[in-house]
Amino acid sequence: MKCTRCRAPAEVQLRAHNAAFCRPCFVFFFQRQVERAIESERMFGRGERLLVAVSGGKDSLALWDVLAELGYDATGLYVGLGIGSYSALSHQKAAAFAERRGLPLRTVDLENEGGLAVPAVAQVTRRVPCSACGTMKRHWFDAAAIDGRFDVLVTGHNLDDEAARLMGNVLRWQKDHLARQRPVLVPTHPRFVRKVKPLFLTSEYETAVYAFMRGIDYIVDECPNAAGATQLVYKDALNRIEAASPGTKLAFVKEFLRAAQPAFAAADRDPPRDCERCGMPAYGSLCAYCRLVDEMQRRATPRASAPA
Ligand code: Q46
Ligand code: ZN
């Protein structure tokens, strides 16, 4: 097998792209693919300040690496979820990466933010951990982007994440989710910044290969709560379809964005208003985070027993 670009012996084959690459050409191809996504979707420009949400995993660190290599002003944001040794190790990986590359990293530790670590919140509110986690992450990503006066919030969601999310949204016809499943979300509230996903057309396999070739030391273990997530069932189904018909994931996401997404976006709900308590965007009187905190406090405070 020869490299599609330079004819040297190839190290990696990408069936979805009908191509194979040697190491230097794959690194070039990967970075170029991300750059093209940024440019064609007009995600951000050179003068803008980017806040990159990093988990210590391969996708977000590979993305941060590419953005730094392409010369963007990219600061990392690590949100410590308080999920035992998984969180400790993932923080270590993100911090070590930042230090080695001389990149700025901001850290928010949920345990120091009113003791709201994911396992405790999930247990007290009886939510599934990923639901509590999602609400908290979104809140702290938005808050950190606004507080730090960043222009853009960048996340490492890849093609596999987007295809699995799309499959879940389609299977249940979640119209309001489909209305907001885009690689670029323009802010609909003064306390939102633009949100972008430069890896939305880059497969998980490609980011894993890139991270390996660039010597990025990332956390290999999944979050212990990922095992029960429905997202993994969709990913598995999509991987089987992809094996039988390479390029399906790419077509699924691309064609949705081209042919169907605009219709869902046009019928989207009203923009959020201000949360009455914290001023963050809210679709009711309180934002999702304040509602979660309320629920946590209500359940954690034992009711006074009725007088005898
Ligand atoms: S970190 Fe959070 Fe994920 Fe863990 S608790 Fe679920 S959502 S699985 S990306
Ligand atoms: Zn609020």
The one-letter amino acid code at 144 reads A
Give the residue whose CA is nearest to atom 1 of ligand 1. Answer: 223
> Which residue among 79, 130, 230 is best mutated to probe the pocket of ligand 1, counting the most ligand atoms within 8 A of its Cβ?
130
Residue of 292, 246, 240, 257 whose CA lies nearest to 169: 257
- Please determine, for residue 305, whether its predicted confidence score (pLDDT) is greater than 60: no
Which tokens hold the place of 14?
């990408």
Pocket test for ligand 1, best of 123, 141, 225 (most atoms within 8 A of CB): 225
pLDDT in the model for residue 302? 65
Confidence of residue 308 (pLDDT cuts 50, 70, 90): very low
Residue 122 CA: nearest ligand 1 atom is 5
Residue with tokens 């989710």: 177
Q: Give 306's pLDDT tier (boundaries 50, 70, 90).
A: very low
| Chain-centre distance for alpha carbon 33 | 18
The pTM (predicted TM-score) of the whole model is 0.94
In this structure, of 16-25, 116-125, 169-178, the range with the lowest mean pLDDT score is 116-125
Which residues form ligand 1's pocket by a CB distance below 6 Å? 81, 118, 129-130, 133-134, 223, 225-226, 229
Nearest-atom index, ligand 1, CA of 133: 2
Atom of ligand 1 nearest to the CA of 223: 4
Ligand with minimal distance to 143 CA: 2
Segment 190-202 mean pLDDT: 97
Does residue 300 surpass a pLDDT of 80?
A: no
Element (H, E) at 195: strand 194-196
pLDDT of residue 213: 97
Q: What distance in Å separates the CA atoms of residue 15 and residue 18, rounded to the nearest whole number?
A: 5
Q: What is the average per-residue pLDDT within 167-191?
A: 95
Rounded average pLDDT over 117-123: 92
Expressed in angstroms and rounded, the spacing between residue 222 Cα and the centre of ligand 1 is 9
223 Cα: distance to centroid of ligand 1 (angstroms):
6
Least Cα distance to 155 among 176, 177, 170, 137 occurs for 137
Ligand located closest to 165 CA: 1
